[in-house]
Structure 1
């Protein structure tokens, strides 16, 4: 017997920008006649465009999702990954039957509990307790089944004092606490969670991730999880789906899916160092390019805090340099021009003799302990010391790297952005 619990075939969802329907009754009737009566392709969708928000479009029909195909097994925990506008939330709404697909088919075995946004499925005039029963009834559960779970739900949510208060008086944090508790504890076969957990505090987020892990690994239920927290996706999920502009661009194990996303999701501007004149040094060696690599030697523009990072410098060799004395320093600056972190090749015992036969050198940072945010990289090549008279090539803002929150202490709590530990610099002469 197959253990497939979700099967998606040729799934697409189109939206019309700016209006509902096609704009006129005659066109709506034409669409109905062609698609429903004649069974032909919708003529108004032929000119639809991919949902790429970075470019100007010519059509008012946008494909939020296009030709999506995948299968999910019972007990899988699947991370849905992608940039804002990639189609993640639309996919979850289709799976939850909140909206219907334009084309394609979704086959689901079992009941689905969804937490797509704060207050999903709650009636604001009803109390928390009444909404628990309402949600259970929507899932097809009997009253006595819900009553059996009620104390556990209230205890997990931490809103016992307000459980008989109308939820319209709840804060957003209380809303999401109770909503998650209901979705996680009522006996559905599939739990779908969008990134509403960002509303809760860190302790509750950790509690939720633990519960989802228990649901998937301990109870054999299926979890679909949308998050921008790559550390959470890697720890919770066993597989991942990467969406880009409404299409599945990668599907596989969660670690591989995260690595694919980090290496492809954010395309920074091309870094042309070859013609940069705002540099110091004798230029016996010249830095002409910078790459950031992950532990699989994939080029990335984003990295998770606390994980391995390699900085590869592409070098133009112009004059002889004793490579055994080559000193390389790299420093990371935040958007306020504060030096946040720096690394020195002599302290790291880096060996650059490979430059005799290649055109690049690398600094390997096993654990990149830096807080979430965007950083500019300044590079220094020197002949044996950090003094200005030994500079070979010094380039400021040679590249940019984006750091995502990471669980560096293995506590289930990711580090936050905004407060930095500034380390000693190396550009003072």
Structure 2
């Protein structure tokens, strides 16, 4: 029987909204009296779960609430859930970056974490010095770090710059070195957040392959957060689903993915308007349209997918794209409107922009699909993930506007619908 690597009991984390230090003396006295008697903070009990779909009225929000689970040594565990479900908060607590409000955590072994780009790096130190610094933090001897040094540098591809302060690294070099350090240094537990999503496709494949080696080949425990259900299914043997800070499911990957897909109802929304983003970019509108004489999407018509956004500050390396998912949450394709994977990306000036992409008719088979848009800064961060997502269903339509199925489409697996050319 495998040893338990991580045991979590009744874990909760509460955050206070608004300004700090504005409480009253009476509230502080009530909290002090509760602690003195070994009671729970009376003001935390009125908090709300972190449900983004409902506007709450409390200034206390529970990012996690009563999480209990066990993870065995050598397991690769996917952590999935919508934005705001508590995934990153859970990883930060397990990595000892923040402390829980309530609950206990027992961890067997050392943890190496990659939660944000460059976490744990000192900008004034060189790449070489940061490698040894991170190893020392993990309790490794200098000889142990030196044994892994060449592998780290080779994986990251920064050999030429290893003796240069990391503050002079490009964003791409920074994230490659950060992952190489986390994956190669001898920790028993590897924790990876969605930071891998900011890399290019080849970098992501390389990282996923290394995480597979870490789990299956080296017997180390891996915790992996991602919205990519294909990566979760390929890499992980178990998964947990978080929903508004609460544990919805813990078990096999197939069931977890199904629950996640069921939690994201495909309601047929084909347009979205809003104002989401940060101080650099704001997303205003997304849409998917099928231009024909009927009021529904048909397989032989072109699909236009578009996005309208505003750049508020000059941005180097703006990324605009979308991911096409099946109705069960599996990633089918990623499309980037500006496909520039460079360490010296161009500058995008402030202004309002619109971008459109056309999928030709007879490309996708009948079925239901989801589109999730991404705005971000190349190799640094994703600014938009789930906001503005769209859903649509494709059907066969005859000349009278009636839906129908053919032997080719009925009961057949697959997503592509090639338009065959027949010659005699």
Common fold: TM-score over 0.5 = yes
Q: Which residues of 2 match residues 359-374 of structure 1 at below 5 A?
A: 374=390
CA distance, structure 2, for counterparts of residue 210 and residue 115 of structure 1 = 16
Give 2:13's aligned residue. 13
| Pairwise CA distance, 1:44 | 0.7
- Gap change, CA 1:372 and 1:173, over 3 Å in 2: same
Give 1:232's aligned residue. 231
Give 2:337's aligned residue. none
Mapped pair 1:192 → 2:180: no
Mapped pair 1:170 → 2:169: yes
- Gap change, CA 1:130 and 1:270, over 3 Å in 2: closer
Q: Which residues of 2 match residues 411-426 of structure 1 at below 5 A?
A: none
Give 1:32's aligned residue. 32
- Gap change, CA 1:47 and 1:207, over 3 Å in 2: same
SS of the aligned residue for 1:27 comes to helix
| Pairwise CA distance, 1:27 | 2.7
| Pairwise CA distance, 1:342 | 4.4
| Pairwise CA distance, 1:343 | 8.6
Give 2:55's aligned residue. 56
SS of the aligned residue for 1:32 comes to helix
Alpha-carbon RMSD: 3.4
| Pairwise CA distance, 1:24 | 3.7
Greater CA drift, 171-180 or 107-116: 171-180
| Pairwise CA distance, 1:233 | 0.6
Mapped pair 1:150 → 2:149: yes
Question: Contact conserved, 2:120 with 2:134, CA < 8 A, in 1?
Answer: yes
TM-score normalised by structure 2 residue count: 0.68
| Pairwise CA distance, 1:25 | 5.0
SS of the aligned residue for 1:101 comes to coil
Bigger Rg, which one: 1
| Pairwise CA distance, 1:236 | 0.4
- Gap change, CA 1:34 and 1:269, over 3 Å in 2: farther
* 1:191-241 Cα distance to aligned partner (Å, 9 max, x none): 000011122221121111111101100110000000111111110000111
TM-score normalised by structure 1 residue count: 0.68
Question: Contact conserved, 1:339 with 1:423, CA < 8 A, in 2?
Answer: no
Aligned residues: 323
SS of the aligned residue for 2:44 comes to coil
Give 1:387's aligned residue. 399
| Pairwise CA distance, 1:265 | 2.8
CA distance, structure 2, for counterparts of residue 265 and residue 369 of structure 1 = 12
SS of the aligned residue for 2:46 comes to coil
Question: Contact conserved, 2:10 with 2:68, CA < 8 A, in 1?
Answer: yes
SS of the aligned residue for 1:46 comes to helix
- Gap change, CA 1:380 and 1:149, over 3 Å in 2: closer
Question: Contact conserved, 2:78 with 2:238, CA < 8 A, in 1?
Answer: yes
Question: Contact conserved, 1:79 with 1:240, CA < 8 A, in 2?
Answer: yes
- Gap change, CA 1:95 and 1:201, over 3 Å in 2: same
In structure 2, list runs of 5 or more residues that go unmatched: 271-292, 296-325, 334-354, 374-389, 405-413
| Pairwise CA distance, 1:106 | 0.7
CA distance, structure 1, for counterparts of residue 363 and residue 169 of structure 2 = 48
